[in-house]
Every structure is written in C-alpha cells, then in structure tokens.
Structure 1
Amino acid sequence: MRNLIMALTASTALAFPAMAEDVRIAVGSFNLNNLPFPVAQGLGLYEKHGLEVRVDNFASGGSKTLQALVAGSTDVAVGFYDHTIQMQAQNKEVVAFVQLARNSGLVLAGRPDATFDPANPETIKGAKIGITAPGSSSDFFVRYYLQRHGLSDADVSLIGVGSGGTAVAALQEAKIDLLVNYDPAATIITERGIGKILIDARSDEGAIAIYGGIYPTSVLYSRQDFIDENPETIQKVTDATVEALRWMHDHTAEEIVDVLPQEFVTGDRDTYVKAVQNAMAIFSPDGMIDPETINTPLEVLKTFNENVANAEIDLSRTYTDAFVENVAPAEVTQ
C-alpha cells in the first residue's frame, strides 16, 4: 500500500505548480484530533494545491499554537475551535474555516490502582491531573467536570504534560495520578496495561454525558485579517484538507497510518493503528462546521472563563463554511 501511495503522490507531482505559495501552519500536538493535517501532508495534497507549507510543531499543546497565530508568527493554526471563542472575548478576531474533528476525543485515564471513581466525583480531590497545557481543551475538560460536581481547580493539581508519548510516560512514572488526553495516548495506555479509561468522551454518548452535547474540537483557524487579505491561500489550504478528510473516510486505519509522516506515529505501529481505528468516529466527513454543535464549547467556557462569561459572544463570527462550500466535489484522492 505504501508503494502505491508513493506512486500516486509522485504522479501528481508532475502537476504541481512550479512556484508554490509559502504558508506557515502551526500544530499544537500529535494527538489524533489533528490527524487529517498530517494525512494531507503525507499524501502531498498541500503541494498538489500549490502550497509550500512550513510546519511549526508546539508539542506542549494548542495554547502555544494560538499564541503564535495571534502574534503573527504563523498564518494558520491546527487547533481547537473553542480558542476562537476565547479570542473573541478578548476582542481578537480568530476564525475557524475547516473542521477536522467533530467531537472531543478526550479521555480521563488513571493507573490501574487509581482511587478516583467517576460515580463518586469527590474522590478526585487531591489528585495530580496531567493536561496537555494550561489553557488547552484538556484543561477545560477538567475544570468543567469539577465545576459540574461542585468542585474547583483548588481541589486538584493541574500539570502540563504535553501529549502522546510524554503524556503516557508521566502517568506510567507516577508523576501524575490521572491523565486527560487524546488518542493515541488513550489506546497506548490500555494496550500496554499502563492504566484504564475512567471517563471516555470519544463517542457521541460520552461527550453528551460530559458536556451536555457534541463538542467540536480540532479545526483549521486563522486571524480574520489574514483570511481577508489571503483568501486564495485559505482556499488552497481548505481544498487540500477537505480532500484529506474525504480520503480518510474511504480508507482503513492501516492505510491511513501508511501515509503519515513518521514523526506523527507514536509508539509501535500496531498500537497506533488501533488508536486511529478507535478515533475514526470523531473525524469530520466533509470539513463543515455544524452551527448546532458550537454552542457546547461556549457553554463550557462560560462556566469558568470570566472573560467569556462577561462577553457578548457572536458565534457566527467564530467560523465560516464559505471555503469548504467552494471545494470542488471532484477533489477526492483515489
């Protein structure tokens, strides 16, 4: 399969424009919510659509990616939709334009001897909880859970541990008691017997139980001024990414892993394939942002983010489907 993909990519290379357009894209982590982005890279789709992509990886979490975007040191961010709401509360226009993951994908895991019992929320008191980074969606997950059960962040210790292998190691080495993270970390933890999943929001049912609704997560977003000044660039990024999403839904987890840049594969390949399979339900089939679901992140943020709670948030200004709607129906990798 890998040889076939390489052959297909090589054949399309002849059609690539001689002068590709530079675009800087920052990604917050290697968690699987962001998977469509490296799939597009591995298939050569950004090059196919006339782009030369420079990737900045902030493995410590999405909040660093957001900071880079706002500071102007990157053009496009691969991050979580809820950051667009936070930025509007700070009078900064950050807009999502392609949805990658339509649901949370988060889990809360503990070691085999974990004393936290979700049926008795107070047992979380005193726990050292690993999150990707302060201000990240894993941080929001914990704070919202605590708030819903009459607890606060003062009842636990929140520790940034990144994602993927570093997050798993923090749990395995007992640097933390609990871990809030995504696949592939979630699957690695269970496959290796490092721990167990205590709260699972990868399914729609799990997300509804935790958040009260579907919680859209990974998107491509940019500053409104960059979008206004560079609509053709944004359209090319969208064309390539939507093509990757469509390709993913027509291929198996093993075929998806075959095309990934090697640095995105965490742990052994077989476990990573299982992680991709476990995460398939969260990926958007078409890149469209559903206006029926984006109120869930707003309600979560309002419970503990004073800036958001006190702001008049206009969700229609946090996203656009215009670029996805312009993607040609025929733009599908065979």
Structure 2
Amino acid sequence: MKKLILALAATVVLTSSAYAESVRISVGSYNLNNLPFPVAQGLGLYKKEGLEVTIENFASGGSKTLQALVAGSTDVAVGFYDHTIQMQSQRKDVVAFVELARNSGLVLAGGKDSRFDPAKPETIKGAKIGITAPGSSSDFFVRYYLQRHKIPSDEVSIIGVGSGSAAVAALEQGKIDLLVNYDPAATFVVEKGVGKILIDARNDEGAKEIYGGLYPTSVLYATQSYISENPETIQKVTNATVKALEWMKNHTAAEIVETLPPEFISGDKETYVKAVENARAIFSSDGTLNEEDIKTPLAVLQSFNEKVAVAKIDLSKTYTNEFVSKVPKAASN
C-alpha cells in the first residue's frame, strides 16, 4: 500500500509539471518601476501558481515590449500604463490588469556642467536630453514639460540612452546634458557624483508638481483577446504578482535585492540597495489601479499626442481590477 501511495504521489508531481501553463512575459527594462515582477520571479511565485514563464527583456525600453505584445510574440507585458491609452487611440485593446508602480518614479538629472535651472524653464533650450527610448514615459515627461512651458520640441535634442548604468554613463561622458530616468539611475547619478537631481517625481508631491497628480506607470498588461481567452492564466499571474507586492511591503530594501536575478542588479549592490529604498514610495500595495489617478496619464498624452487628443478614449477599457479583486487571501498574506 505504501509503495502504491508513493507511486501515485510521483505521478501527480509529474502530471502537474507536465501540465504547467506556459506564458510568455516581456519586460521593457530593468528600471525599478518594474521591480515587483523580478521579485515575484525570484521568490518563485509564478512557478508556485503552476506557470512556466518564458521571459524576454527588451533593455531598450517599453515601446519594444508593446510592439511585441501587439505583434503576438509575447502574451503579457511588464510596461507602462500610458501605453494602453495610446493603443486605444489606434483602436487596439490593450488592458492593464495589475498595477506595479502607482507613481512616476522619474527624475530629471543634470550633469556637472548643466545650465538648466527648473526655476527658469527656458534654460532647457539647446540641451541634449537622454531618455530611456522614444515613445517611452520618459519621452512623455520631457514633451509634457516642454509643452507646459510653451517650448518647441525642436529647441532640444531628445536621445534614447536606455536605463540603469548605461544611462548614467551617457550623462557622465557628456553625451547628454540632462537625463530623464528612473531608479536605479537616479540614485547612481547622485551617489557616483555624476550630477544632481533637478526635478524629482518619485514622491507624491513631486509628481503632483510635474503632472498635476499621481502618474501610474508600471503595470502588467495584455491584449483583451488574450485576457478573454486565458482568464485562468491571467488570474495566476495576478495572484503571484500581488503576493510579491505584499511581500515587498514587509521586507527591507536589502532583503528585496536578495531575491533578484543577478542580471537585474545594476552597479554595485550597496548603491543598488539605496536605489530600492529611494524608490519604495512608488510601489502599489495591492495591485489595484485607481480610476482617478489614471486620468493623469491621459491628460499628459492629450497635451502633445495628436492621435490621443482627437480620439474618444474610454479609460474603463484600458484597465481592469477584476483579477486583483479575486486574488485569494492566502495569496496576498
């Protein structure tokens, strides 16, 4: 009888492994706005949900991830919420279903020789400004700033420099005068003596000063067709991610960093831990998207994106809290 029980148990293990659900998840970059995703990965939470995850990283920025999702070469994207609005203006249904970062997390940093003074917006003219990639939220940040201060976009040069150490190196080497980026790059700029932060939207006050409100950024999103056809898979991805958010609330920055895959950590670990601590305020506590906060990205996009400005955007179709609301209590404690 004992042998029979052991044999049956082994069969169950083999069967569950054989029937693990495959899901392809792509991430736009290893900036800290996306941190809850690799934390969930590092803690093995997707595997515990019975998922076999194939991960692809597009280090050049979220716009590449969005392209992959629309083209059907990935199932779920770790990208920025504002992409869902852009896609609706192009009559494509892309839906956010878990919020990772409730706030921008962006900073505008100046190199040692930068002449830009935020108190005098016109001093940004002639600057070479580094962003993660064209079409990214860092790109939107710059264009919205210029638009608000009535400065033509052709008065500056906007250059894609990626994120993390590569972005900081571009500023340090003088390839750019200003850098709009996320942590860990924001912390690296200060800790390495490369420059200083001139505009800081990592905290709520800074975001409201720049955007007029909180600016949700990193989310998990998928096409509506994939969500409709694979609700159980989406629920499992949601369960694991929400559990990671809850875990992060109750652990130190150093403990969070210990869960990460080595390739996610930029620069030296000590400075990276400081970057995680500096970014803690931006993370969602439970993955829920706030219907008021998502109006901020729409206002930003409408200010300079012609397609969004003329389109009738229905924000209710750009996100859903359905799956977050169904996360089992055991998965969020």
What's the TM-score bracket when you normalise by the shorter of the two chains? over 0.9
Secondary structure of 2:174 counterpart: coil
Judged with a 3 Å threshold, the aligned counterparts in structure 2 of structure 1 residues 206 and 61 are, in CA distance, closer, same or farther, namely same
Q: Paired residue for 1:254?
A: 254
Secondary structure of 1:292 counterpart: coil
- Give the CA deviation at 1:331: 1.1
Judged with a 3 Å threshold, the aligned counterparts in structure 2 of structure 1 residues 274 and 231 are, in CA distance, closer, same or farther, namely same
- Give the CA deviation at 1:112: 1.9
User: Residue type matched to 2:107 in 1?
Assistant: V
Unaligned stretches of 5+ residues in structure 2? 1-12
- Give the CA deviation at 1:15: 12
Whether contact under 8 Å (1:103, 1:214) holds in the other structure is yes
Trace 1:300-311 onto structure 2 (pairs within 5 A).
Answer: 300-311=300-311
Distance 2:104 2:240 in 1: 23
Q: Does 1:236 align with 2:236?
A: yes
Q: Paired residue for 1:176?
A: 176
Distance 2:126 2:68 in 1: 33
Judged with a 3 Å threshold, the aligned counterparts in structure 2 of structure 1 residues 16 and 117 are, in CA distance, closer, same or farther, namely farther
Whether contact under 8 Å (1:62, 1:136) holds in the other structure is yes
Distance 1:273 1:67 in 2: 32
Whether contact under 8 Å (2:239, 2:332) holds in the other structure is no
Deviations 1:213-266 (A, max 9, x none): 000000000000000000001001000000000000010000000110010000
Trace 1:207-218 onto structure 2 (pairs within 5 A).
Answer: 207-218=207-218
Q: Does 1:284 align with 2:288?
A: no
Distance 2:28 2:177 in 1: 24
Trace 1:138-287 onto structure 2 (pairs within 5 A).
Answer: 138-287=138-287
Name the % identity.
Answer: 73
Secondary structure of 2:190 counterpart: helix
- Give the CA deviation at 1:106: 0.1
Q: Paired residue for 1:4?
A: none
Distance 2:19 2:268 in 1: 38
Secondary structure of 2:78 counterpart: strand
User: Residue type matched to 1:102 in 2?
Assistant: R
Q: Paired residue for 2:322?
A: 322
Whether contact under 8 Å (1:15, 1:48) holds in the other structure is no
Distance 2:56 2:151 in 1: 37
Q: Does 1:90 align with 2:90?
A: yes
Deviations 1:150-200 (A, max 9, x none): 112111000000111111111111110100000000001100101100000
Q: Paired residue for 1:136?
A: 136
Whether contact under 8 Å (1:16, 1:49) holds in the other structure is no
Distance 1:216 1:332 in 2: 21
Judged with a 3 Å threshold, the aligned counterparts in structure 2 of structure 1 residues 246 and 14 are, in CA distance, closer, same or farther, namely farther
Secondary structure of 2:97 counterpart: strand
- Give the CA deviation at 1:18: 4.8
Secondary structure of 1:267 counterpart: coil
Judged with a 3 Å threshold, the aligned counterparts in structure 2 of structure 1 residues 102 and 15 are, in CA distance, closer, same or farther, namely farther
Alpha-carbon RMSD across the aligned residues, in angstroms, is: 1.3
User: Residue type matched to 2:36 in 1?
Assistant: P
Distance 1:44 1:28 in 2: 21
TM normalised by structure 2 equals 0.95
User: Residue type matched to 2:63 in 1?
Assistant: S
Secondary structure of 1:55 counterpart: strand
Distance 2:250 2:197 in 1: 29
Distance 1:112 1:222 in 2: 41
Whether contact under 8 Å (2:215, 2:293) holds in the other structure is yes
Deviations 1:80-139 (A, max 9, x none): 000000000000000000000000000000112210000000000000000011100000
Secondary structure of 1:276 counterpart: helix
Distance 2:229 2:136 in 1: 28
Secondary structure of 2:103 counterpart: coil
Whether contact under 8 Å (2:21, 2:50) holds in the other structure is yes
Q: Does 1:295 align with 2:295?
A: yes
Distance 1:274 1:214 in 2: 23
Q: Does 1:64 align with 2:53?
A: no
Q: Paired residue for 1:113?
A: 113
Distance 1:186 1:23 in 2: 32
Unaligned stretches of 5+ residues in structure 1? 1-12
Runs of 4+ aligned structure 1 residues displaced above 6 Å come to 13-16
TM normalised by structure 1 equals 0.94
- Give the CA deviation at 1:16: 7.1
Judged with a 3 Å threshold, the aligned counterparts in structure 2 of structure 1 residues 148 and 17 are, in CA distance, closer, same or farther, namely same
Secondary structure of 2:293 counterpart: coil
Q: Does 1:36 align with 2:26?
A: no
Whether contact under 8 Å (2:27, 2:58) holds in the other structure is yes
Deviates more, 1:139-148 or 1:109-118: 109-118
Whether contact under 8 Å (2:33, 2:105) holds in the other structure is yes
